[in-house]
Amino acid sequence: MSAPPARVALVTGASRGIGAHIVAALLDDGWTVVGLSRSGQVTDGAEGLACDVTDAAAVEEAVRQVVDRHGRIDLLVNNAGLVETEQPLWEADVDEWWQVMVTNVKGPFLLMRAVVPHMIAGGGGRVVNLNSGSGTRESDVLTSYHASKSALARLTGGVALAGAEHGVRAFDLAPGVIESDMTHSMRMHQGRTDWTDPEDVKALVLAIAHGELDGFSGRFLRAGTDDLDLLRARSRAGLGEGERMLRLRPWGEDDPLRG
């Protein structure tokens, strides 16, 4: 009997921080992992490709190389992201503000646009978008980052809806506050000592990858807060309309926008 085909994962922003943790977890779980980063550097055991995730041609070429080499992509983890300087919108540098939007929204869009057709051709797959609780609320000093994460949730939801009939599922995973170069650069985290354990992020990614949380397709999960056993049970039981999703909250029963 021939061995089953290797499971193939593609992870962006794979050279450091959360991306490196996710790559390591997938490798330990027996996945074939290809990591994308600007430098092409990844954790030992993974394959690295240099790629600017905001460049459509570069993304298409990287995905082509992965599929040519491995024949499939079963899991896409969109982790690459940026945060801007903390200041009110009217003081923001235009180019910096927009680059955050480009990286955090256009990047995942390009990756999903290139990868999902291969998932459909292969009978299905899963997409994990590294989102944030920031995407569910406003900020006085991080308007681009918060807006980008709200927009990313809409991309996740759109892929979850359109991909469902093809066996493609998509998830928003908020990693909590992992200690990294990015979080150390932010004034709001100066002096922080209660960092999210990377093991919590790794456990959620693996549970998604194994199909244990498919009931949360199109919805938010948060490392460091969510209990994995409870998530598994809720996934099996099913979730109602709007639960763990971005929705407008009406002021009450008489709000004409209710429903």
59-115 per-position pLDDT tens digit: 999 999 999 999 999 999 999 999 999 999 999 999 999 999 999 999 999 999 999
Q: What are phi and psi of 150, to 5 degrees?
A: -65, -45
Q: In this structure, what DSSP letter does residue 223 have?
A: T
Split at pLDDT 50, 70, 90, the class of 126 is: very high
Per-residue model confidence (pLDDT) at position 120: 98
CA distance 248 to 46: 42
Spell out a b/e string for 92-125, using b for 16 or more CB atoms within 10 Å of the CB, else e: beeeebebbbebbbbbbbbbbebbbebbbebeeb
The tens digit of pLDDT for each residue in 191-231 reads: 667 777 999 999 999 999 999 999 999 999 999 999 999 99
Q: Which residue has the higher pLDDT, 253 or 190?
A: 253
35 catalytic residue (yes or no): no
The tens digit of pLDDT for each residue in 139-193 reads: 999 999 999 999 999 999 999 999 999 999 999 999 987 766 666 676 666 666 7
Domains of the chain: 8-187+195-237 (3.40.50.720)
Per-residue model confidence (pLDDT) at position 177: 75
Q: Which of 31, 97, 109, 145 is catalytic?
A: 145
Quick check: 2 pLDDT over 60?
no
> Is there a contact between 209 and 9 (Cβ–Cβ < 8 Å)?
yes
**Number of residues assigned to the chain:** 259
Return left, alpha or beta for 247; rule: phi > 0 is left, psi -120 to 50 is alpha, else beta. Answer: beta
Nearest alpha carbon to residue 215 among 169, 253, 246, 173: 169
Q: In this structure, what DSSP letter does residue 243 have?
A: T
